[in-house]
Amino acid sequence: MYPIIHKIKQGIDQVVLAVCSLAILTLVVTVTWQVFSRYVLNDPSSFTDELARYTMIWFGLLGASYLFGKNGHLAITLFISAVSEPLKKWAYLMINIVSLLFINLAMIKGGIQLIGRTMQQFSPALQMPMAYVYLILPIAGVLMSVYIIINTLEVFSMNAVKEQSE
């Protein structure tokens, strides 16, 4: 089971990193154009500031999702390392359950509600529905949930392999 889980996780990682790379490229281009148009052309671009801001939101939440996939969240690793060895996997499970509850209520459910409320609200410069900006909340929530489930399965499947080998 572990190799299948690992392949799924690697595939998700590649997609998330590709979108993050595109976001970084977009940020570099838009901010460079904003600086160039403001200081060289003396005619600042009207859309680049807004595009950079929304791209940064997407980048931040996708990066946070990727961090969940790598078990890199500071509070989680700090708590897990403070617990005795026999209780580690159960503490890890409890943290993941609480995280899943929060993510599903706040990010997925709340994000979907926010998208519904802002579909008719348009951004000032880009004139796109603000729902597109907020779409990242449920996307990141689903990604975080999938990563948490995969990481939990990995922890318990590795423990099962260790117990069988002993």
Cα-Cα-Cα-Cα dihedral sign, residues 153, 157, 158, 163: positive
Rounded to two decimals, what is the model's pTM?
0.85
Query: Which one, of 70, 69, 95, lies nearest residue 82 by Cα?
Result: 95
Tell me the helices (H) and strands (E) count for the chain, helix number first.
7, 0
- Give the pLDDT of residue 159: 54
pLDDT (tens, 9 = 90+) of the chain, 166 residues, equals 567 888 989 999 999 999 999 999 999 999 999 999 999 998 888 889 999 999 999 999 999 999 989 887 767 677 778 888 888 888 889 989 999 999 999 999 999 999 999 999 999 999 999 999 999 999 999 999 999 999 888 888 765 445 434 4
- Domain definitions of the chain by residue range: 2-165
- Give the pLDDT of residue 74: 67
- Give the pLDDT of residue 43: 87
Structure confidence by residue, pLDDT tens digits, 65-85: 999 898 877 676 777 788 888
* d(C-alpha 147, C-alpha 69), whole Å: 5
* d(C-alpha 63, C-alpha 65), whole Å: 5
- Give the pLDDT of residue 164: 38
